[in-house]
Structure 1
Amino acid sequence: MGISNSSLFLIFFIAHFSVMILRSLWLSNWSNENAEIKKRGGAYNSTDLPMSVETRLIVYASFGGLEMFLLAMAFVVLTAGSLKASYGLHAPLIHALLRAPISFFDTTPVGRIINRLSRDLDVIDKLQDNIRMCTQTLLNACMILVLISISTPIFLLCAAPLILIYYFVMTYYIPTSRQLKRLESASRSPILSTIAESIHGASSIRAFDKTERTTTALSTNVDKFAQCRYLSHMSNRWLATRLELLGNTTVLFASLSATLSTKYFGLTPGMAGLSVSYALTITEVLNICVRSVSEIESNIVSVERVNEYQKLEPEAPWEVENSEKLDQNWPDQGKIELEGFSMRYRKNLPLVLKNIDLKIHGGERIGVIGRTGSGKSSLTMALYRMIEAESGTIRIDDVAIDTIGLHQLRSKLIIIPQEPVVFSGTLRFNLDPFNQYSDAEIWKCLEICQLKPFAQDDEQCLDRHISEGGKNMSVGERQLLCLCRALLRGARIVILDEATASVDTVTDGIVQRAIRQHFPKSTTISIAHRLDTIVDSDRIVVLDAGRVAEFDTPSNLLLNPDSLYSQLLNEKNRKQ
C-alpha cells in the first residue's frame, strides 16, 4: 500500500472513531439532561434547557454525517492502496515467470504455478478486507475500553487481566492457524496438478486403462487437503469457545462496575447506559479482531509464496548493449560454429552434450540423427540458449551468442517444432500477431503451404477463428500453419526439430518441398525422425550419448558399413 496510503488510512479511521466517541458522549449528555428534567417532575420550560432539541439533533446528525464521510475516505484510500499493492505484486510475478529459465518449468508442477496465480493472488486481493476489519475492530475495542474506563474507572481493575488473557489466546492461536493455512495452501497444489494432468492426458489415461489409478491419486490428494481444512476449522472452533467465554466475562465485569459506580460513585444514568451498551458489543468486536489478525497473518503466507516466485533467477538479459552494435542484417551468412560445447539441464545432472565441435557453413543443409537420448533436441535448445552452456561457445557468423541478448538471438532463428503451437484467435493472428505483413504476403504463404483452401472454407477467411491449441484443425494442418508462419518471417537459419514426426507422408512432402524451394540460401538444421527426410542433406551429424560420433556427407557415411548412420539406416530397412 505504501507509507502514504497507510498513514492516510489510519488518520481517517482514527478520526472516524474519535467522532464516534464524541457522538456517543453527546447522546449520553442529552440523556442526562432528560433525566434531570424527570427528577424535577417532568415539567420544564424550553428556555431552561441549555440547548434546544433542534440544536441537539443538528449536532448529532452532523456527527453522524462526519462519521460517514471519514469512513468513506478511509475506504477509498484503502482500496486505492490495495489496487496499487496488488499490481505491484502481480506485475513482477508475471514478469518473473515469463523470464524464468526452462529448468524451472521442468521441475515445477503446473498446479503449483496455477495456485500462485489464482488462489494466492485471490487471497492477497482480499487482504484489504482483513486489514480494514482488523483496524476497525481494534480501534473499536480500544474505544469501548476507553469509554468504559472513563465512565467506570473501577473496571480497570479487571480490564488488565482480561487483556492479558486475550493476548495469550492470540499468541497461542495465531501461529497454529498460520501453519495450518500454509499446509492447506501446500496441499491444494497437488489437486490442481492432478486435475490439469488428467485433462491434458485424458486419452492416454483411458487408452492404458489407468482411470482407477488417476482417480485414486486425486482422491488421496483431496483427502490430504480435507484433513488440513478440517484442522483449520477445528482451531477456529477452539478460538470461538474461549473468546465467547472471555467476552461474556467482560460484559459481566462491565455491568457490575456500572452498577457499583452508579450506586457509590454517582455515575449518571446516561454514562452507565453508554458503558453497558458498549460492553455488550465487546464480545463480537474482540472475536472479529482476533480472527482478523489471524487471517492477516495466515494470508501473509500467500504474499511470501508470491514473493518467492518474484525472486526466481531469470534467463540471460533480453537485451544487451553490445547487441545494438550488430549489423541489422546479422546473420547474413548463417554460419554456425560450436567449439568445445558442453551442456547440462541442471546442476548435479550429467552432461547431455559433451565437448561438441562443429563447423556448419552458411547455406548448408544439415541433418541431425541419433538414437533417443543422444542429444538431438538438446542441440536445438543450445542454439536458442534455452539452456546455458556448461563450457565452450556457439558462434553465429563469428558472433558468440552468449554475448548478445536473447531477443536479438531468438528473433533471428526460425524453428518448426515437433509439436505445433497454435494460439486461440484468428488465423491472421496466428500467422502475423504483430501485423507486420500484408494480406497478399499471407495468402502467398498459405498457398505455398496448401492451406489456402482451409482459409477459404470459412467466410471470414483470414479472420477465421482458431480454437485453443488448434482443436478445430488436424495435426497436419497445425504443422503446416507453423510452416506458413516460418515462411512469412524468413531467416538465415531454419531449424526443424522432428517437424514431420507426427504427420503423414503427404504433409511431410509439403514441408520438405517448401523448405527446399523457399529457403535455398538459409542454413537448415533438420533433426530427423525419418531418415529418408535427410538423405538429400549436404552433411549429416550423427550424435551418440551427447557426442558427435560422425559428421560427413551421406554418401561418405554410407561407404562405411560400420558407421552409425549405416547401422541406423539398416535398422530402419529391417523394420520396414
Structure 2
Amino acid sequence: MALTIPFTLPVIYLIQNVYLRTSRQLRHMDLEAKSPIYSHFLETLNGLSTIRAFGWQQSLKNINIRLLDASQKPYYLLFSAQRWLNLVLDLLVAALATILVSLAFTLRHSTSPGLLGAALNTILVLNQSLQRLITSWTSMETSLGAIARVKSLIASTPTENQPGEDRKPPATWPNRGEIQFESVSASYDGVCMALSGITMRIKPGEKIGICGRTGSGKSSLVLALLRLLDISAGRVVIDDVDLSMVPRHEVRSRIIVIPQDQFMLEGSVRLNADPFGTISDACIQNALEKVHLWPLIESRGGLDGKMDASSLSAGEQQLFRLAQAMLRKDSSKILVLDEATSNVDSNTDLLMQKVIQEEFKDFTILAVAHRVDTILNYDKVAVFDKGKLVEFDRPQTLLETKGSFLGTVYRANKAE
C-alpha cells in the first residue's frame, strides 16, 4: 500500500488539475446562463399589467422555457464533469486494488489474510476520501479566484481620496462652525469655471443665504464644501482645519445636509431615520413629532412600518429629512440647505423654517434659496453670478442698494 503512494499522488494532482480548469469554466458559464432568466423574470414582474392587457402570456412563457433550457446546458456539462471525476477515481482505486491483490498473491507466503483484508477496506474508503478531497480543493480554488477578482477590482478602482488627505480631525470637529472660502476656484471640465476666486468668511453661528440665477455657482459652492467638487485653486477651511487635508468621507459625515432630492432606504422608518442604529426610539419619535410627521408614521405601523417614499408627498419627505438632521445635531455645527424648500407648499415651508430656527439656532447655516423671501431674515446673503461672488452683505443693505440682484428679484416677486 505504501509503495503506491509516490505513484498515486501525481495522478491525483493531474486529475484535480484537469477537473479544476473544466469545473471553473463550467461554473462561470452556468452563472452567465442564469442571468437572462433573472432579467426576464424581473421584466415580467414589472410589466405584468401590460402583458395581460396585450395577451402576451404565452409568448413570454415560451421565452422563459427557452431561457430555462439554455441555462441547464452548462449545469448538465458540470454534472457530467462530476460523473467523470467519480469514474476516474473509481478506476484509480480499482487499479490500486488490482496492484494490491497482485502483490499479495505474489508474496502470499509473507502476508496474512487479515492484513490483506484491512488494506482492501482502506482502499475502498480511499475512493470517497479522494473524491471529497478533490471536490473541496476545487471549491477552495474557485472561492480564492472570486476573492482574487474582488481584490483586483478594488485595486483597479481609483480611490476618491488623494495623497495627503489623511488628517483625522478631532471627534468634536466642527465645534464652532466657522467657514472660510479663500480664493476658491473650481471647474467640472477643467475649462469653464464653476467657481472663480470665491473669498468669503462665515462666522460661527451665522445664517447665510445663497442665491443667484440658474448656473451661477450656488450648488457648486455646496459641492466644493462637501468635497464633491475638487477645487483647482484656493482652499476651504472649517474651524482652522483645511478640508484638502481631511478624508472626504470625514468631511461629509461632519456636515449636516438637507438636499432638494431625497433618497429613502428600503426598510423600516427606524432604518431610514437612524441607519447606524445608535439613536433610541424615543429620540426618533420626538424628532418626528416636532416636524408633525409622527401621527402619519404611527398610523402606518410606527417605527417598524415600511418606509415608502412614493406614499409621502414632497413636503413630507423634506420634513422627514429635517427630522433626520435633528437626530444628528450632536455631531456637527454646520447645516447646509440645498434648495430644501423649493418643492414644498407654503405651510410646509413655514413649518420647516420654524423648526430650523428653534433646533439649529446656534448652528452655522448655509441655505441655497429658490425663493428669496425665505432668506431675508438671515444674517447675510451671498449673491452669485457666473461663478463669482458679486454681493455679500446683510439682506436689508442689499435690498436698499440700487441695482442689487437681491433687490431686483425681491421686487419682481412682490409684483407677481
Q: Give the TM-score category using the shorter length.
A: 0.5 to 0.7
Residue 316 of structure 2 is aligned to residue 477 of structure 1: yes
In structure 1, the partner of 2:142 is: 298
Alignment length (residue pairs): 387
Indicate conservation of the 8 Å contact 1:258/1:275, yes or no: no
Q: Give the alignment's TM-score, normalised by structure 2.
A: 0.66
- Measure, in 2, the Cα distance between the counterparts of 1:196 and 1:385: 40
Alignment of 1:419-498 (within 5 A): 419=262, 421=264, 424=268, 426=270, 430=274, 434-435=278-279, 443=286, 446=288, 448-451=290-293, 453-454=295-296, 464-469=302-307, 474-475=312-313, 476-487=315-326, 489=329, 492-498=333-339
Question: The residue matched to 1:296 in structure 2 has which SS?
Answer: helix
Of structures 1 and 2, the larger Rg is shown by 1
Deviations 1:160-200 (A, max 9, x none): 655544433333332343454466668888988x699979x
- Measure, in 1, the Cα distance between the counterparts of 2:194 and 2:345: 34
Letter in 2 for 1:357: G
- Measure, in 1, the Cα distance between the counterparts of 2:400 and 2:105: 110
Indicate conservation of the 8 Å contact 1:542/1:550, yes or no: yes
Residue 209 of structure 2 is aligned to residue 366 of structure 1: yes
In structure 2, the partner of 1:170 is: 16
Indicate conservation of the 8 Å contact 2:256/2:325, yes or no: yes
* Offset at residue 480 of structure 1 (A): 1.2
Relative to 1, partners in 2 of residues 1:375 and 1:259: Cα closer, same or farther, differing over 3 Å?
farther
In structure 2, the partner of 1:524 is: 365
In structure 1, the partner of 2:105 is: 259
Identify unmatched segments of 5+ residues in structure 1: 1-144, 150-155
In structure 2, the partner of 1:357 is: 197
Residue 235 of structure 2 is aligned to residue 396 of structure 1: no
Relative to 1, partners in 2 of residues 1:336 and 1:448: Cα closer, same or farther, differing over 3 Å?
farther
* Offset at residue 419 of structure 1 (A): 0.3
Deviations 1:485-507 (A, max 9, x none): 43462765321123235544432
Relative to 1, partners in 2 of residues 1:511 and 1:281: Cα closer, same or farther, differing over 3 Å?
same
In structure 2, the partner of 1:240 is: 86
- Measure, in 2, the Cα distance between the counterparts of 1:326 and 1:507: 32
In structure 2, the partner of 1:500 is: 341
When you count helix as a share of all residues, which structure comes out higher? 1
Deviations 1:177-224 (A, max 9, x none): 3454466668888988x699979x969x98xx9xx9xx99x9899899
Deviations 1:16-59 (A, max 9, x none): xxxxxxxxxxxxxxxxxxxxxxxxxxxxxxxxxxxxxxxxxxxx
Relative to 1, partners in 2 of residues 1:367 and 1:195: Cα closer, same or farther, differing over 3 Å?
farther
* Offset at residue 533 of structure 1 (A): 6.4
In structure 2, the partner of 1:271 is: 115
Indicate conservation of the 8 Å contact 2:86/2:131, yes or no: yes
Letter in 1 for 2:244: D
Q: CA RMSD in A?
A: 5.5
- Measure, in 1, the Cα distance between the counterparts of 2:280 and 2:326: 13
Indicate conservation of the 8 Å contact 2:208/2:381, yes or no: yes
- Measure, in 1, the Cα distance between the counterparts of 2:192 and 2:307: 30
Deviations 1:49-86 (A, max 9, x none): xxxxxxxxxxxxxxxxxxxxxxxxxxxxxxxxxxxxxx
Q: Give the alignment's TM-score, normalised by structure 1.
A: 0.51
When you count strand as a share of all residues, which structure comes out higher? 2
Letter in 2 for 1:480: L
Indicate conservation of the 8 Å contact 1:353/1:375, yes or no: no
Question: The residue matched to 1:280 in structure 2 has which SS?
Answer: helix
* Offset at residue 474 of structure 1 (A): 2.1
Indicate conservation of the 8 Å contact 2:186/2:233, yes or no: yes
- Measure, in 2, the Cα distance between the counterparts of 1:167 and 1:394: 62
Deviations 1:470-528 (A, max 9, x none): 56962433421321343462765321123235544432342244435655664433345
